[in-house]
Structure 1
Amino acid sequence: MTDLDAFITGLPKAELHLHIEGSLEPELMFALARRNGIALPYADVEAVRAAYAFSNLQDFLDIYYAGAAVLLTRQDFHDLAMAYFDRAAADGVVHAEIMFDPQTHTARGVPFSEVIEGLLSAIAEAQARHGLTACLIMSFLRHLSEADAFATLEEAGPWLDRIAAVGLDSSELGHPPEKFARVFAAARERGLKCVAHAGEEGPPAYVTGALDALHVDRIDHGNRALEDEALVRRLVDLGMTLTVCPLSNLKLCVVDSLDQHPIDRMLKAGLRATINSDDPAYFGGYVADNYRAVAKARGLSRGDLAQAARNSLTGSFLPGEAIAALCARLDAFVDAA
C-alpha cells in the first residue's frame, strides 16, 4: 500500500450515495440463490461478472433488478448489508447513509417488514462491530407511478422514525423530478429529509427541478449541473451537497474516461462534492477505490481528498454535534498524516 493509499483509506469519511441492492456481489448472489432455491440466469460467478458491460443506465438496471430476485428474507437483507458494512469499515467509512428500494422487493411479494428489519438489524450490528453509524434512505423508483410511491410511503409508516430520508432513483430520462413533487411534500410533512438523483443522464433542468419541485436537501450525482453556470452558482450559494460517483459515471458511460471526470472542477468551483460508490458490486469498486481512481486520474491532492471527505461529513444527516466530532477526527488524522 502506497502512502497515498494509506491516506485515502485512513480518511474518516461518510458514504452518502450507496444503493444497498447494488452491493450484492456475485458470490453472495449465488449463495442466496442456493439458500432460497432460486435459479439464476447465469452459469456461475464469472458469467455474472461478464454481464457487467453496460452502455447506459438502463442496461445496468436490467441486471440490477434481476440480481435483486435472490433477496427474500430479513436474513438475506441483513447479510447483504453486513457484507457492505464490513467493506465500508475497511475503507475508513465512519458513517453510511444507505439507500434501499422497497418497491423492487414488495412487487415480488417480499413484505416491507422483511426488507427493513433485516437492514435495521445489520445497522445495529455494524455499530457494535465497527463503531460505524448508519441510517436509511427509502428510495422511490421513478419509472413507477406517483401513486405507487405514495403507497410505499404509507407502507413505511410504522418505521418512519427509523428512516432518515426519501430518495428518487432508477431510470432518470423521461421521469423528471416534478412527477414526484406531491409525494416528496408528504414525506417532508412527516419529518423526512429529501434527496434525489438528478443530472446523471438527465439534463441540468432535472437538477433545477429537484431543487424547486422536490426541495431536496442533497443532489445525488449532479454532474450535468456544470453545463449551467447559473445553476452552479446557485448550488454553491445553497451549500448543496452533491453525491458524486466516479466509477459509476465511468461504467455507465456518463464520462468516457476518468481522465475527463469533473470531480476536481466541482471542488475548485466551491461545490460540496463528495465521493461515493453508488452500486459497487456492479461498478468495480467501493468508496476508497473511487477516491483512489480519481486521485490518480485527476491528480487530486491530499487537500482535495480531505475536502471531499469533509464534505461527506458535513453533508450527512447526522446531528450537528456528531458532525463536529467527526470533522475534528478528520482534522486530527490529516494533521498527523
Structure 2
Amino acid sequence: MTDFANALIDRLPKAELHLHIEGTLEPDLMLALAKRNKVTLPYESVEDVAKAYEFDCLQDFLDLYYLGMSVLQTEQDFHDLTWAYLLKVHADGLTHVEMFFDPQAHTDRGIAFETVLGGIVSALERAEKELKITSKLIMCFLRHLPEEQAFDALDCACKHKEHIFAVGLDSSEKGFPPPLFERVFAAARKEGFTPVAHVGEEGTAENVREGLDLLKIERVDHGNRALDDPALIKRLAKQQTPLTMCPLSNLRLKGIPTIGDSPVKKAMDAGLLVTVNSDDPSYFGGYLNDNYRAVHQALDLNEQDIITLAKNSFKASFISDSAKQAHLDAIDAVVEDVKKG
C-alpha cells in the first residue's frame, strides 16, 4: 500500500451505511456489561469470547450475536455500546452514520423498545455535539420472527418517527425471502419510513430483484448475488441504486473464500454505486478503515478508487443534497491536502 493510499484511507471523511450497532459489542464490553447486569455467559475472559468469534456460516454468527445481546439490558448499556462505536470510528474519519438496530431481539427478551431507542439516540445526539458525527437510525425487522411481530415493531416505531428514519430487513436470508415482508414494508412506507433490506448476501439475485420490486427498497444491503444477473446489474447501474457491501463480513461468514473474491471492484467497474462498510465489526475483525484497507490491497484498488468509495458513501446516504455536497467538497479538500504531503 502506498503512503498516499494509506493517508487517504486514514484521513478521508466517510459515511458508514451498513452497521449493526449490536454487532459492535467488543468482548471486553460484553464481559463488563455481563458483570454489571449479573448475566451469566459461557466465557470467563476476553480471550474466550474472541475464540468464539469463528463462524462457518451466517447462522453460526447469529447464534453468538443473540447470546451477546443478552448483556444489553438498560438504557445506559445501549448508550455505552453506541458511544464506544462512535468514538472508535471517529478516528477512522467517520462523519456520518446510518445505523441499524434490532429492537425485536430485545423486546422478545423483555427489554422495552424505549429503553433500546433511548440509549442509542442519546449517544447519537452526543456524537453530533461532541464529535460532529451526524446520523440516521434504521430499525430492522428480523426475518426469522413472525410477521405479526414485525408489525408490533412498526407500531412502536411510529411513536418515534422523530428518531427513526428508515426500516430494514436482516437476520437469516435463507428461507425468508422478501415476499414474506411485503405487507409490513408497504405499511412502513405508508407511514413515511424509507425502506432498505439485506438481500443477496446468502440469497440469490432474485431476492435482490424482489427487494426492489416488492419491498420498494431504496438501497440494497450487501447485494453480492446481484452480480450473478447481467440484467439486474444493468438495472442497478442505470438507477444508481446503492449497494452497501461488507467485505470482511463476507469473508468471516464464508460468503467468499478470500478478500480477493470480494465483488466490490467488479461492481464498481460495472458502474454500480458501491459503498464499503463494516457490518458487525466486533465479530468480523475489522471496522470501517480495516475494510477499506482490505479491499485496497486484495483488489488492487488505486487511489482514485478509494476516493470514489468515500464519495459514494455520502452519495448513497439519505442526507440532503446540500449536505452531500458539503461532504464531497470536504473530501476534495482532504485529497489536495494529502497530495501536498
> Shared fold (TM-score greater than 0.5)?
yes
Q: Which secondary structure does the structure 1 equivalent of 2:291 belong to?
A: helix
Match of residue 192 from structure 1:
193
Match of residue 255 from structure 1:
256
Task: For 1:76 and 1:285, locate their aligned partners in 2 and report how far apart those are by CA, in whole Å.
Answer: 22
Normalising by structure 2, we get a TM-score of: 0.97
Match of residue 287 from structure 2:
286
What code does the residue aligned with 1:175 have?
A: F
Q: Is the 8 A contact 1:241 1:315 kept in 2?
A: yes
Q: Is the 8 A contact 2:277 2:288 kept in 1?
A: yes
Percent of aligned pairs sharing the same letter = 52
Task: For 1:58 and 1:149, locate their aligned partners in 2 and report how far apart those are by CA, in whole Å.
Answer: 20
Task: For 2:329 and 2:4, locate their aligned partners in 1 and report how far apart those are by CA, in whole Å.
Answer: 22
CA deviations 1:142-174 (Å, max 9, x no partner) are 111111101110022221221110000000001
Q: Which secondary structure does the structure 2 equivalent of 1:156 belong to?
A: helix
Match of residue 226 from structure 2:
225
Q: C-alpha displacement at 1:2, in angstroms?
A: 4.2
Match of residue 207 from structure 2:
206
Task: For 1:3 and 1:326, locate their aligned partners in 2 and report how far apart those are by CA, in whole Å.
Answer: 20
Match of residue 175 from structure 1:
176
Match of residue 270 from structure 1:
271
RMSD after superposition? 1.0
What code does the residue aligned with 2:326 have?
A: A
Task: For 1:192 and 1:26, locate their aligned partners in 2 and report how far apart those are by CA, in whole Å.
Answer: 33
Normalising by structure 1, we get a TM-score of: 0.98
Task: For 1:17 and 1:238, locate their aligned partners in 2 and report how far apart those are by CA, in whole Å.
Answer: 20
Match of residue 153 from structure 2:
152
Structure 1 unaligned spans of 5+: none
Task: For 2:128 and 2:298, locate their aligned partners in 1 and report how far apart those are by CA, in whole Å.
Answer: 34
1:32-111 aligned at under 5 Å gives the runs: 32-111=33-112
What code does the residue aligned with 1:194 have?
A: P
Task: For 1:51 and 1:21, locate their aligned partners in 2 and report how far apart those are by CA, in whole Å.
Answer: 16
What code does the residue aligned with 1:90 have?
A: A
Number of residue-to-residue matches in the alignment: 337
Task: For 1:312 and 1:30, locate their aligned partners in 2 and report how far apart those are by CA, in whole Å.
Answer: 33
Q: Is the 8 A contact 1:164 1:317 kept in 2?
A: no
Q: Which secondary structure does the structure 2 equivalent of 1:64 belong to?
A: helix
Point out the more displaced range, 66-75 or 259-268.
259-268
1:128-143 aligned at under 5 Å gives the runs: 128-143=129-144
Match of residue 9 from structure 1:
10
Match of residue 333 from structure 1:
334
CA deviations 1:247-288 (Å, max 9, x no partner) are 000000110001111111111110001000000000000000
Q: Which secondary structure does the structure 1 equivalent of 2:106 belong to?
A: helix
What code does the residue aligned with 1:44 have?
A: S
